[in-house]
Amino acid sequence: MEGKRERCSSQVELLRKIKEFTRAFVDDLSNGRSPVILIDRFRSYCTDFNSNCYCGSDLPCGKEVLTLSTESHVHRLDVMLRVLLIIQRLLQENKHSSKRDIYYMHPSVFLDQSAVDRALNEICVLMECSRHNLNVVSAGNGLVMGWIRFFEGDRIFDCISSPNTAYPVPVHVEEVKDIISVAHFILVVEKESVFQRLANDQFCNASRCIVLTGRGYPDVPTRRFLRLLVEHLHIPAFCLVDCDPYGFDILTTYRFGSMQMAYDTKYLRVPELRWLGAFPSDVGKFSVPKHCLLPLTAEDKRRIKAMLHRCYLQREVPEWRSELELMLQKGVKFEIEAFSVHTLSFLSETYLPSKIQGELKIMYAR
C-alpha cells in the first residue's frame, strides 16, 4: 500500500483515501497476510554536489517498507493507525486539533510526542496532503506587523492602522483572504527581541514594510504565511538572523524547507528569500568590537561543517557558503543585538537601511 501521486486537499477525497487505506490493511490481516506499507521518502537537501538530485521537489528519493514482521515497525504502525483514526474523526466532525492534543489521547501507547509527529508526517506522505489538510494545526508562534491588512475567515488583521503593533500570524493560512498592502518589502527576523526593537524604533513607519518573526525556528503557519505574502504581493523578502550556525539553519528552513517536512517543501519554502545578515563579514564593515564576539563551540563547528555539505549551498547560493566558511575560519559568532554597541537604534537606522539599499541595487541591476 502506498500513497498515490495526486495531491489530496478536499475532506471528502481525504476521507475516501483513509477508508481505502484502512480497509486494505484490515483485508490483509483477515486473509492472513502481513500488510506491507510503502512510504515515499523525501529530502530537502543531500550532500552530493555532483549528481542531479531531486531535493526540495515533490519527487521521492526512495521508499521505506513497513511490515508487521519487523519488530521495530509494529509500534510505528500501531501509532500510525491510531493517529489515522483520530484524523478521520476530526475530518468527519469538521474539528481541529493540535499535535499535543493527539498525543494525550493515547499517551501510554504513543510514549513520546515525537512518535505522533512522525506518524503525522508519514500519514501526509501516504495520503498525499499537507498537515493542515488533516485538521491538525499548530498553536502558532509567529508575529507580524507593518503595512498590511487581511482576513482570516471572518477575523480582520488591520496591521495598517497601527504598523508597529504586533499581531499573531494566522494559524489557518488557507483561510487568509483579501490581502491589502502598500509595503515595499518583507523583512523576516529570527527573534522576538529584534522584532520588538524594530517596533520600538517605528521601523515599519520609516521603511514602509512588513516585519515577520517565527520567534526562533519557524512553525508551519509562519512559513506558510510568508510564502503566501511573497506569492501574493510580489515584493522583495529579506531575512535577518544571528551570525551563528543556528541562525543560518533558521534562514535555510525558511528558504529551502526542513528535512522533517521535506515531503511538503514545495509548498513551504520561499526561494525568493534573500539573506540580509548578519554576516561574518559584517564584523569589519560595521565595526563590531571584539568584546561582542563569542568563540564558536565544538558543537557550532560540527554543525557548520555539516551544513557546508548541503547541496543547495553549492548549487543555488554559493555566496552563502562563502560566508559560512568565513564564520568557521574566523572561529567567532555574534548576535544581531551586538550592533546596539554603537547606539540602541543602530540596527534600524543604519544597518538595515544600508543592507536593504544594497540588496535592492543588486536586484534591480539584474
Which distant-in-sequence residues (6+ apart) come within 8 Å of 12 by Cβ? none
Confirm whether 254 is a catalytic residue: no
Cα distances from 39 to residues 62, 82, 119, 125, in angstroms, run: 9, 17, 11, 7
Which helix H or strand E contains 240, and what residues bound it?
strand 237-240
pLDDT score for 333: 95
pLDDT score for 59: 76
Cα distances from 267 to residues 28, 307, 360, 365, in angstroms, run: 34, 23, 26, 29
Which distant-in-sequence residues (6+ apart) come within 8 Å of 45 by Cβ? 55, 56, 256, 259, 310, 311, 312
Handedness of CA 310, 316, 318, 320 (dihedral sign): negative
Which helix H or strand E contains 233, and what residues bound it?
helix 220-233
pLDDT score for 4: 39
pLDDT score for 32: 82
Local structure of 116: helix, strand or coil: helix
DSSP bridge partners of 295: 332
Which distant-in-sequence residues (6+ apart) come within 8 Å of 26 by Cβ? none
Task: Please list the ranges in the chain whose pLDDT falls under 50.
Answer: 1-7
CB neighbours of residue 78 within 10 Å: 16
* Residue 319 to residue 219: CA distance in whole angstroms: 27
pLDDT score for 51: 62
Instruction: Give the long-range contacts of residues 9-16, CB within 8 A, separation 24 or more.
Output: 9/129, 9/130, 9/133, 11/91, 11/94, 14/91, 14/127, 14/129, 14/133, 14/134, 15/88, 15/91, 15/92
Report which of 128, 162, 139, 167 is spatially closest to residue 151, judged by C-alpha positions. Answer: 167
pLDDT score for 2: 42
Bridge-based pairing state of the strands 186-189 and 237-240: parallel
pLDDT score for 6: 43
| Catalytic entry in 104, 217, 246, 267 | 104
Which distant-in-sequence residues (6+ apart) come within 8 Å of 99 by Cβ? 113, 116, 117, 120, 136, 138
